[in-house]
Amino acid sequence: MPKRTVFFVSDQTGVTAETMGHSLLTQFEGLAFRAVTLPFVATPEKAAEARARIDATADSEGELPIVFSTLIKDELRDEVKAARAVFLDFFDAFLGPLESALGVKSSHAAGRAHGMANLETYTARINATNFAIANDDGTHTRDYEQADVILVGVSRSGKTPTCLYMALQYGIYAANYPLTEDDLEGGKLPAVLQRHLPKLYALTIRPDRLREIRHERRPNSRYSSAQQVAFEVRAAEALYDRIGIPYLDTTLCSVEEIGSRIMQATGIERRLKP
Amino acid sequence: MPKRTVFFVSDQTGVTAETMGHSLLTQFEGLAFRAVTLPFVATPEKAAEARARIDATADSEGELPIVFSTLIKDELRDEVKAARAVFLDFFDAFLGPLESALGVKSSHAAGRAHGMANLETYTARINATNFAIANDDGTHTRDYEQADVILVGVSRSGKTPTCLYMALQYGIYAANYPLTEDDLEGGKLPAVLQRHLPKLYALTIRPDRLREIRHERRPNSRYSSAQQVAFEVRAAEALYDRIGIPYLDTTLCSVEEIGSRIMQATGIERRLKP
């Protein structure tokens, strides 16, 4: 099946246009799309280039491309809108209703969403990211006092990307502690975790999925064997149940969903405001 | 000034609703908002709860709250839409035009954007994240062969969060190498970097901003002194110019913008498709 081309056009990074477009396109199962992001379309020359590129695609594919636009300045938007495409205009759809609701005109200024960062936001993110990296492997536990949350789980249950996502997205100080075979065989929580029980949140995963993930890393090893994986997951869940650590099955979850569910379940307050 | 309350309501994480709402609200400078995210509104009970909470806010504030909704199921959407609020409906605005353009009906299935992750996407993200962490401090350089990009810069120029953002957002293998005082005084690139010249991309930052950032970390130290910061930035930029390493001033950039500009400037292909 030929793939329909989709453009994400933005005067800034294109992250908002991609997020919006992706949300909508996933509603059309069975269709295939080719995604092209055109970021930093912030001058009339860039807008003319974008238009030419969209027109060329329309010509070569014989079908109108889809354009998701978050362009805010009228002159740039008008230029790109003139391309032969289905033009879905984010600001056009919502700024009018918002202006009425708020009773003021918007500034129509480009690129505020992911543009200039203030020092406070920047510092919060960099500190949270450094915290997640420094507290990633369970060997460094001195900073647990400062942690907002400590994720526990067996190897490859999703702890590391979740901690980093939470740092970048929410500014959360998230540590993670991988449960070792020793921990699991003893059936006891390490003392350092015991001291921070209210901060613990566990990730678990279906053994068949964990096997696949571990197999990618170390094929045909004990680490990725059915028996070992089943033992670890069972022992870990038994431990969480006995001690009363809340846990989430990450098997069908994206990192975004895991992060969001942890925020929701623990009630931790984000340090970065949306 | 009283803050207007804004709700982000979603049957999934709320990330799309927050991104969209944030983009729009930043167009209204000078107004203050109180943001409340209501994620996982995926049942009629949750929808009724959300409606009640929005109505209570309308009552207590004497003003209609703003609701950004990415609810996709009609029954949930209708319930929340009945709340006393200005209701901005993401799918309502765009699904119709998209259905016409594509000539098919959408699936109206909840939570696809950040829902179930496939193994390929999950593995790409986790591998890229682990790569960024393992190659974060310049001591471990064995994996540079595998890197898509190697960021260089003085301490606190934004390398670490950028590498992790690129890993999570694009699946990019990004290493980073902090330039030390020795490197800068010698005016020479370390041999390990010299071997990977085409992969290098540098971050720089205005000395006054770098001072502020370093001051947060180690107040009144040599590390954060005006003289030291000015020397490092000047020497680093001279080195980039001499060797021909492209660089970006991160002073006014968010992590999203830095990541996006690097993708754009280097032409690296993302491993995670938008």
- Percentage of residues in chain B having pLDDT higher than 70: 96
In the predicted model, is pLDDT for residue A117 greater than 80?
no
C-alpha distance from B117 to closest chain A C-alpha (Å): 5
The verdict on residue A38 lying in a domain is yes
Residue B262 has phi, psi (to 5 degrees) of -65, -45
Please tell me whether residues A123 and A97 are part of one structural domain: no
B89: nearest CA in chain A? A94
DSSP chain A: -PPEEEEEE-SS-SHHHHHHHHHHHTTSTT--EEEEEE----SHHHHHHHHHHHHHHHHHHTSPPEEEE---SHHHHHHHHTSSSEEEEHHHHHHHHHHHHHTS-----S--TTSPPPHHHHHHHHHHHHHHHHTSSSS--GGGGG-SEEEEESTTSSHHHHHHHHHHHH---EEEEEPPHHHHHHT---HHHHTTGGGEEEEE--HHHHHHHHHHHSTTSSTT-HHHHHHHHHHHHHHHHHHT--EEE-TT--HHHHHHHHHHHH-PPPSS--
Q: Which two tokens stand for residue B30?
A: 């000078």
Nearest CB to A161; choose among B31, B101, B126: B126
Report d(CA A133, CA A52) in Å as an integer: 44
C-alpha distance from A199 to closest chain B C-alpha (Å): 22
| pLDDT grade for A115, boundaries at 50, 70 and 90 | very low
Please tell me whether residues A259 and A130 are part of one structural domain: yes
Mean pLDDT of B98-118: 72
CB atoms B97 and A88 under 8 Å? yes
Least confident of B26-35, B118-127, B230-239: B118-127
Domain end (from A55, A76, A102): A102
Report d(CA A147, CA A272) in Å as an integer: 15
CB atoms B125 and A161 under 8 Å? yes
Please tell me whether residues A155 and A246 are part of one structural domain: yes
Please tell me whether residues B163 and B262 are part of one structural domain: yes
Report d(CA B75, CA B58) in Å as an integer: 22
The verdict on residue A272 lying in a domain is no
The verdict on residue B107 lying in a domain is no
The verdict on residue B28 lying in a domain is yes
Instruction: Give the helix, strand, coil percentages of chain B, each rounded to 5.
Output: 50, 15, 35
User: What residues of A are in contact with residue B41 (Cβ under 8 Å)?
Assistant: none
The verdict on residue A274 lying in a domain is no
Q: Residue A93 maps to which CATH number?
A: 3.40.50
Please tell me whether residues A58 and A144 are part of one structural domain: no
Rg (alpha carbons) of chain B, rounded to whole number: 24
Return the SS3 of B9. strand
Nearest CB to A26; choose among B112, B121, B213: B112
CB atoms A133 and B129 under 8 Å? no
pLDDT in tens, A16-30: 899 889 889 988 888
pLDDT in tens, B73-96: 999 999 999 999 999 999 889 998
Interface test with A, best of B11, B94, B137, B262 (most A CBs within 10 A): B94
B260: nearest CA in chain A? A13
CB atoms B37 and A274 under 8 Å? yes
**Residue-level pLDDT at A177:** 96
Report d(CA B57, CA B51) in Å as an integer: 10
Residue span of the structural domain in which A149 resides: 119-266
Nearest CB to A216; choose among B22, B104, B123: B123
Least confident of A95-109, B182-196, B254-268: A95-109
Please tell me whether residues A125 and A256 are part of one structural domain: yes
Please tell me whether residues B134 and B85 are part of one structural domain: no
Report d(CA A23, CA A67) in Å as an integer: 14
Domain end (from B74, B102, B130): B102
CB atoms B168 and A161 under 8 Å? yes
Please tell me whether residues A24 and A136 are part of one structural domain: no
ipTM of this complex: 0.81
**Residue-level pLDDT at A145:** 94
Residue A88 has phi, psi (to 5 degrees) of -105, 115
Please tell me whether residues A123 and A259 are part of one structural domain: yes
In the predicted model, is pLDDT for residue A151 greater than 80?
yes
Please tell me whether residues B96 and B123 are part of one structural domain: no
The verdict on residue A112 lying in a domain is no
Question: What value does the mean pLDDT of chain B take?
Answer: 91
C-alpha distance from B133 to closest chain A C-alpha (Å): 7
Domain end (from B73, B102, B131): B102
The verdict on residue A107 lying in a domain is no
In the predicted model, is pLDDT for residue B110 greater than 70?
no
Report d(CA A41, CA A2) in Å as an integer: 28
- Percentage of residues in chain B having pLDDT higher than 90: 69
CB atoms A164 and B112 under 8 Å? no
Judge whether B149 and B263 are in contact, CB under 8 Å.
no
Please tell me whether residues A92 and A134 are part of one structural domain: no
Burial class (CB in 10 A: 0-12, 13-18, 19+), A237: middle
CB atoms A112 and B4 under 8 Å? no
**Residue-level pLDDT at A32:** 87
A151: which residues sit within 8 A by CB, 6+ positions away? A159, A162, A163, A174, A175, A176, A177, A201, A202, A203, A262
**Residue-level pLDDT at B115:** 47
Q: Which two tokens stand for residue B173?
A: 């293998």
Mean pLDDT of B193-218: 94
**Residue-level pLDDT at B146:** 95
Please tell me whether residues A24 and A131 are part of one structural domain: no
Q: For chain B, what is the domain count?
A: 2
The verdict on residue B9 lying in a domain is yes
CB atoms A98 and B19 under 8 Å? no
In the predicted model, is pLDDT for residue B1 greater than 90?
no
CB pairs under 8 A between A and B: 237
Judge whether B259 and B170 are in contact, CB under 8 Å.
yes
